Structure 1
Amino acid sequence: MEFRNLTPLHAMAYNAVDVPGNEIHVVALKAAYRLEPAQSHDSAGDTHRCVLLSGDNAVSLAMADEYEGETGTSSVKWESDLAPFKPKCDVLVRATAYAPHGTPAASWPVRVRVFDDGNMVVDKGLRVTGTRSFTKGWRGWKLGDPEPATAVPVRWEQAYGGASRVTLAPGSTETSAERQLNEVCFTNPLGRGWVEKRFLDRATHQSVVASPCAAFALRPLPKIAEIPAPQVEAWDMPIAGLDVVEHSASALDTKQMKEVASGYAATPVGLGVVGRAWTPRLQFAGTYDETWRKTRWPYHPVDHDFHYWNGAPADQQIAWPAPGPAFELANLALPEHTRAGFLRARLPGHRALVALRFESGAIVPLEMKLDTLLIDTEEMRVSATWRAVFPLEPAVRVCEARFELDRHAPLLRMAALKTTSEPEDTWQTT
C-alpha cells in the first residue's frame, strides 16, 4: 500500500495485528493547537481559542513514551501515538494546580469538564494540598496539616501510592537478602502514602539505605518518624491515613495483583497517563504465560483487551467525540493565563480522514476517530490524535491522509480528487 499525506500535519501509516492474529493497516494523524486568549466578549463564553499549528510549527506524532523525569520512574508526559487501536478517546491533562488568586493556601479545588456535542462527558474534581506528612506518635501514624502553597504539579508522584525500597548501603559487609526489600503499590508505584509493612522494620537497620517513595533518593533512615503524604486526592474522598500493606513474599500474577490492590485503603487519582504496568491497566494486556508462549507467540494472548491502549484514567475515557469538543479547567493554569483561575476553550470542528483507493478503482472515504486529546497547560497547547484502522483485504492501492477544516463539508471533494496524483508527501508502507 502506498501512503500519501496530503495535509500540512504529521501523519503515518503502519501495520499492526489484532487479537485473532490478523494483520491490519493503521493510520495516525496528529494536530496541535496553541491556546490563545479569546475576545473578552466571546459569545460562547470561551476564554481561549485553539489555533492550529501547521507546516513548520506542526507537532509530530510521538514515536515513544516521553517522561517528566527519569524514564520509568516518573510520570509520563505523553505516550507513543503508535497504538494499534483505542476503543475509547483518552482525555489527558498535563497541568500544575495553582492556588486561587495566587495566594498561598493549605488546599484548594481543581476541576476538569469536557463536552462532546454539548453533552458533558467528563466532570472531575480533585483537591490539592501543600506539602504534608504522616508523623508517628504514640497512637500510631497521624496525617499532619499541609503547608501553604501556591502551586502543586498534578502528577502521580503527588498522588496516593508508593515504592518501599530497602537495599544494602554502599560499603556494607552485610550479605543477607532478608535486609532488602523492593515492593511497589500496584496501582501507582510513583506516589506517596503507601508502605509495605516490612519496610518499617527493615529500613532502619544500619547496614541499609531506604526510601518510601520513588521520588525520594535512597538514604540511611536510623529512625522513621515521618513519611510524605499525598498532595492530590479525590475531592469527595480525602486521604485518611498512612496505608500500611502486607504483600505476599511470592511472585503474583496480574489477577492476583488486582485482587491485592482491591484491599488498598485508597485509589490514586490524577489527570495524566496511567502507567502501562499499573493495575488496573496491566490486566487488559492479557495473560502471557507458558500456554501463550507455546500456542500464541508472537501474537496477542486470547484475553488481550484493546482497552489496554487507552492510557487515561478510567473516568477520563470517553466515546470518540464529534468534531469540536469543548473543555473547562479550574485552577489548572497559570493565573495570568486564565480569568480568575477559569479556562474554557473548544477545538475547531476539524476532521481527519483517509481516502482509500482500491485496486478495483473504487475510492472510499473513511473518517478517522479522535482517540487522544491532551490538554497541556504547561505548554498552553492542545494535541489531538486521530486514528483509522482497516483490513489488508480487499487490497488498498493508495491511502491518502486528509484534513478537513469545514465540519459540514463532504468527506470527499471531487474537485480535490483530480489533483492528488502528485502527492505533497509520499512513502511506501508494507
Structure 2
Amino acid sequence: MAVITNDSGLPYAWFEKTGEGGAAYDVLAVRGTFDFSRDGKPITLATEQKPIIDGDEFDGEVDSAPLKAVLKREGDRVLYKPATDVYLTGTARSAHDEMRAEWMAGLQVGSMQKILRLHGPRQFVRGLFGWRLTRATPTNAVPLDYRLAFGGTYASESEEAAVEYVYKRDNPAGCGWLPDDEALKTLSKDARSQIAAEIGKLKLLAAPQIEDPMQPVRHPSQQCAAQGFGPVARWCSPRIDYAGTYDDRWRAEVYPNVPNDFNPRFYQSAPPDLIYPGYLVGDEIIIMAGLLPEGRVTMRLPRLRVMMAMTTWDGGGRVGALNLDTVAIDLDERQVSLVWRERFDRTDPVNFLRLGVTAFVNPMPEHAHG
C-alpha cells in the first residue's frame, strides 16, 4: 500500500483499476473546485472543495428505466482519459433574463468551440399533411439536459414476451424522435406491430429545445445527431461504440478483461466535439455566450499544475505533472471542477508519493486566448 502525502490542499483518490489485457494499475485522481471569474481573469480556488465523486450520478430512474436517465455528474474513479473532456451542465439563461423564443449559446475553451441554438418549449403536431413544428414559447431559461435534445425510446408491452426497445442510439432519453421503418426492423414482428400502432396514435410530440443551428430538427424522423453540452452516458453512441465486442468468444477467452477491440476513448464522457485534441494544461481561455444572464463571460483556467513525486518498491522514481483530463463547468453553481489524473503500472508498485500544486508564470500563447 502506497504512503501518500497530500500537500496540494485538494481532495484526491488512490484506487486500483484493471486495464487492457488485464494489466493492473494504481490510479491517482485529484479534484479541484473553482469559482467563476470575469474579465478574462483566472478562475479562483473555491473556499469549499467538493469531494471526489465515487461513481457516475444520474437523473432519472436509472435502475428501472436506464434508457430514459441522463448522466448528471461523471464519477472520478476512471482508469485514464486519452484527452481532456470539457462539458457544461446546469441551466442556460438568456442575456439579461429576457424572454425569448430562441437564442444562440456558445462555449469556447482554448482553441475548441461549440455553438448550439436553444429554444423555448415547442411541439411537433400531426395534421392532415403530416407533422409540423409549432412556434416556441418564449422563455429565459433552458436546462442543458439531453431529455430536451433530439432522441427518444419506444418499448413493447407484453405479459408473455420480453420487452423490446427501439431507441435513438445517441440519445435514448431525448424527445421528438420517431423510429423509421429501418429502425423498426430490429424488432420482432409482434413488437414492431405494437410500437407502430402506438406511434400511429400520437398527435403531439415534445420537440427538441437544443439543436445544431447548421442542422435544425424539422421532422420527427429526420436523420441528425442529438446535440448537447453535457456529459454522455456510457450506453449512448458514439461512446458505446468504443466499448468493444462482448460476445461468446470474449466470454470464453477474454473475460473478465475488456474486449481486445476496446478503445480507451470509451472513458471520454464529453460530447465528441468537446473532447480537446490532447490535454489542456492551464491558463487557456474560457468564453461563454448565451449561457448566463450577463451575456458574454470570459475567464481562464488557473495557472497551476498538480505535481507529484513518487518512488517505487524497486527503487525507481519520477517527478512530473498529472494530466488535466476533465473540465466540468456548472452554470447553476457558477463553478468549474477540474480533475487531474495519473496511472501507475503495478508491476513495480508505488511505495511513496507526495502530491503538490505549483503555479506557472508564463501565460499561454496568444492563440489560446481566443
Which bracket does the TM-score occupy, shorter chain normalised?
A: 0.7 to 0.9
Confirm or deny that 1:234 pairs with 2:217.
Answer: no
Confirm or deny that 1:407 pairs with 2:341.
Answer: no
Confirm or deny that 1:304 pairs with 2:262.
Answer: yes
Partner of residue 225 from structure 1, selected from 192, 203, 220: 203
Confirm or deny that 1:102 pairs with 2:100.
Answer: no
Partner of residue 80 from structure 1, selected from 75, 78, 81: 75
TM-score, normalised by the number of residues in structure 1: 0.75
- Give unmatched runs, 5+ long, in structure 2: 185-190, 363-370
- Partner residue, 1:258: none
Contact 2:108 2:286 in 1 (8 A): yes
- Partner residue, 1:184: 167
Residue deviations 1:314-333 (CA, integer Å, cap 9, x gap): 10001101222221111212
The residue correspondences of 1:290-301 to structure 2 (distance < 5 A) are 290-301=248-259
Identity of aligned residues (%): 27
Partner of residue 43 from structure 2, selected from 36, 47, 50: 50
Confirm or deny that 1:92 pairs with 2:87.
Answer: yes
Describe the shift of the 1:128–1:201 C-alpha distance in structure 2 as closer, same or farther (beyond 3 A).
Answer: farther
SS in 2 for 1:20: helix
How far apart, CA to CA, are the structure 2 residues paired with 1:361 and 1:21? 25
How far apart, CA to CA, are the structure 1 residues paired with 2:206 and 2:101? 16
Greater mean deviation of Cα atoms: 12-21 or 301-310: 12-21
How far apart, CA to CA, are the structure 2 residues paired with 1:98 and 1:289? 46
Deviation at residue 239 of structure 1 after TM alignment: 0.8
Describe the shift of the 1:403–1:74 C-alpha distance in structure 2 as closer, same or farther (beyond 3 A).
Answer: same
Contact 2:94 2:291 in 1 (8 A): no
How far apart, CA to CA, are the structure 2 residues paired with 1:134 and 1:176? 34
The residue correspondences of 1:7-46 to structure 2 (distance < 5 A) are 7-36=8-37, 38=38, 45-46=39-40
Partner of residue 145 from structure 1, selected from 116, 135, 144: 135
Confirm or deny that 1:280 pairs with 2:245.
Answer: no
How far apart, CA to CA, are the structure 2 residues paired with 1:288 and 1:348? 41
Contact 2:151 2:176 in 1 (8 A): yes
- Partner residue, 1:3: 3
Greater mean deviation of Cα atoms: 268-277 or 66-75: 66-75
- Give unmatched runs, 5+ long, in structure 1: 39-44, 169-174, 213-220, 244-263, 410-430
Describe the shift of the 1:94–1:83 C-alpha distance in structure 2 as closer, same or farther (beyond 3 A).
Answer: same
Give 1:147's aligned amino acid: T
The residue correspondences of 1:343-422 to structure 2 (distance < 5 A) are 343-359=297-313, 361=315, 363-404=317-358, 406-407=359-360
SS in 2 for 1:315: helix
- Partner residue, 1:320: 279
Give 2:252's aligned amino acid: K
Give 1:285's aligned amino acid: A
Query: In terms of Rg, which structure is larger?
Result: 1
Partner of residue 177 from structure 2, selected from 189, 194, 201: 194
Contact 2:125 2:131 in 1 (8 A): yes
